[in-house]
Structure formats: structure tokens, C-alpha cells
Amino acid sequence: MTDAGGIAGYGTPRADLYRRSAYYVKRIFEGAKPADLAVEQPTRIELSINMRTAKALGITIPDTLLARADRVIE
């Protein structure tokens, strides 16, 4: 969402979700019953900050938060 202009995003990267869903589809095609497949929690969560949007809104992002961000969009 930060690529589209959101000021900040915190969550699992969509590519990771797509990759895991493909794994489930593969298992089902191989004959596994959907009810027998375990539900998994995301293992990777990213913080991204869009500095262009923050600047346009006049918001100052603390340096400590910027240091923790996985992605900063200039």
C-alpha cells in the first residue's frame, strides 16, 4: 500500500502469501484433504514507510522508526 501512496504499511508481503497459497493448491491437487492441512501464521512481517507522503502531509517520522523500517520510500 505504501507504493500506492499510503504513509505506512505493516504486514506480510503479498508475494509470500501467494507463494504459500500455491503450496496449499499443490497439496490439494496431490490428494490432500483441505480440512487436514494446517493453518499457518505468516513468518515474515515488514514495516514500510513512504517519506514522500509524510512530507506532503507535513508529518515528521522519528529517526528511530525509520531505522526499524524494512523499506523506506524516498
pTM of the complete model:
0.71
Mean pLDDT value across the chain: 93
Q: What is the pLDDT of residue 1?
A: 84
Phi, psi of 64 (to 5 degrees): -65, -35
Q: In what helix (H) or strand (E) does residue 48 lie, and over which residues does it extend? A: strand 46-50
What is d(CA 18, CA 16) in angstroms, rounded to the nearest whole number?
5
Confidence of residue 6 (pLDDT cuts 50, 70, 90): very high
